[in-house]
Amino acid sequence: MKNNDIMKTYGIKSYWFSYTFLSDGGASSIDVNASDKEKIEFMISILNDYGFTDDLASIDDDIKSFSFDGKDYLSGGNTYNWDAVIPRDINFRFYDYNGKVLVVVGVHTGVDIRAGYVNFYKLYDNIEEAENDIYEITDFEITGTIVFKDGSELYVSSPNVVGVHTGIDSSEDNSLASSFEELDYETIKDVLDELIYF
Question: Whole domain around residue 63: which residue ranges?
Answer: 34-140
Both 150 and 132 in one domain: the answer is no
Both 61 and 134 in one domain: the answer is yes
Both 7 and 54 in one domain: the answer is no
Length of the chain: 198
Instruction: State the pTM of this model.
Output: 0.84
Both 175 and 189 in one domain: the answer is yes
| Number of domains, the chain | 2
Strands 153-157 and 28-31 turn out to be unpaired
Both 91 and 163 in one domain: the answer is no
Both 111 and 177 in one domain: the answer is no
Both 49 and 112 in one domain: the answer is yes
Long-range CB pairs of 102-106, under 8 A, 24+ apart, other chains included = 102/59, 102/63, 102/66, 103/52, 103/130, 103/133, 103/134, 104/68, 105/47, 105/52, 105/134, 105/137
Both 96 and 156 in one domain: the answer is no
Q: What burial letters (b/e) apply to 139-163, b meaning 16+ CB within 10 Å? A: ebbbbbebbbeeebbbebebbebee
Both 171 and 193 in one domain: the answer is yes
| Domain boundary, last residue among 140, 168, 187 | 140
- Contact residues for 90 (Cβ-Cβ < 8 A; gap 6+): 43, 78, 79, 105, 106, 107, 108, 117, 137, 138
Query: Does any domain span residue 29?
Result: no
Both 127 and 157 in one domain: the answer is no
Both 186 and 119 in one domain: the answer is no
Both 146 and 118 in one domain: the answer is no
| Domain boundary, last residue among 140, 166, 185 | 140
DSSP structural state of residue 166: -
Alpha-carbon dihedral sign for residues 110, 114, 116, 119: positive
Query: Does any domain span residue 27?
Result: no
pLDDT tens for the chain, 198 residues: list them.
788 899 999 999 999 999 999 999 889 999 999 999 999 999 999 999 999 999 988 888 777 777 777 778 889 888 888 778 899 999 999 999 889 999 999 999 876 666 788 999 999 999 999 999 999 999 998 888 899 999 888 888 874 545 544 444 444 567 888 888 888 888 888 888 888 877
In this structure, the number of other CB atoms found within 10 A of the CB of residue 67 comes to 6
